[in-house]
Amino acid sequence: MTYYRLAPAVVARLLGSALVVLALVAFVATIVVAVAHGSADIVIGIALAGAVVIVAGAWWLRRKAWVVRCDEQGYAVRLVRGAGVRQAPWTEVRDAVTTTTRGIACLVLRLGNGTSTSIPVGLLAIDREEFVRQMQRHLGEGQKVRPLGL
């Protein structure tokens, strides 16, 4: 089984957004506590809890989260909005093509029933060309296709 994970730049962008949200939450909490004459410990608790959530999220994104999973039977895609078909066996894949969708380089797996799966290769922590080669190999192995001359 092969897992293709998020690119470090994508993880950094997500964590940066999470830090901005945490800062806004801490700001609002500070105002609410000040107006209500509450304890500053509430704001500190919110900030610490948010920091723990962000650190846990960073660990999960870097070590456990995957975008594409391939095995002998087929593939699965997650964490991609608008990917189309999320999983299918290799035997249903008609072909794989590279294209640009809304300015984003994608690998599109077209299925025999007319549907498809779009995978934005910029999300992945692997070179684009290498990813395409590996997916072609998975597809060939999954469909039991051997190169000519073997």
User: pLDDT tens digits, residue range 68-125?
Assistant: 999 989 999 999 988 899 999 999 999 889 999 888 899 999 999 999 999 999 999 9
Quick one: pLDDT at residue 52? 97
Taking phi first (over 0 means left), then psi (-120 to 50 degrees means alpha), and beta for anything else, what does residue 69 get?
beta
Give helix 8-35 / helix 40-63 axis angle, nearest 10°. Answer: 170
Q: Are strands 68-70 and 87-89 parallel, antiparallel or unpaired?
A: unpaired
Confidence of residue 147 (pLDDT cuts 50, 70, 90): low
pLDDT (tens digit, 9 = 90+) per residue, 23-33?
999 999 999 99
Quick one: pLDDT at residue 142? 79
Query: Can you give the pTM of this predicted structure?
Result: 0.79
